[in-house]
Amino acid sequence: MKPISIIIKETREQIVKALNESQLPPCLLEAVLNPIYQQIAQAAQQEIAQAEKEYTEEGEKNAESN
């Protein structure tokens, strides 16, 4: 499996390439990217909330078994 740092680098390069190939001006790229960023931010917050819930539940189960 590739290291995460390489995956991040390659992903950024692919995104930049796609944006450059679109030939859209920055003001339109902003209109395209803003909703995408908002969706990603929301998904990230949901992922964090789920991880916190699972971590708390796991801690409670461990406390009960001791």
Domain boundaries, the chain: 25-66
pTM of the entire structure? 0.73
pLDDT beyond 70 at 66: no
pLDDT in tens, 4-42: 999 999 999 999 999 999 999 999 999 999 999 999 999
CB environment 21-58: b (16+ within 10 A), e (fewer): eeeeeeeeeeeeeeeeeeeeeeeeeeeeeeeeeeeeee
Instruction: Of 2, 25, 22, give the one whose Cα is nearest residue 14.
Output: 22
pLDDT beyond 80 at 65: no
Whole-angstrom CA distances from 22 to 10, 17, 18, 37, 64 are 18, 9, 6, 18, 56
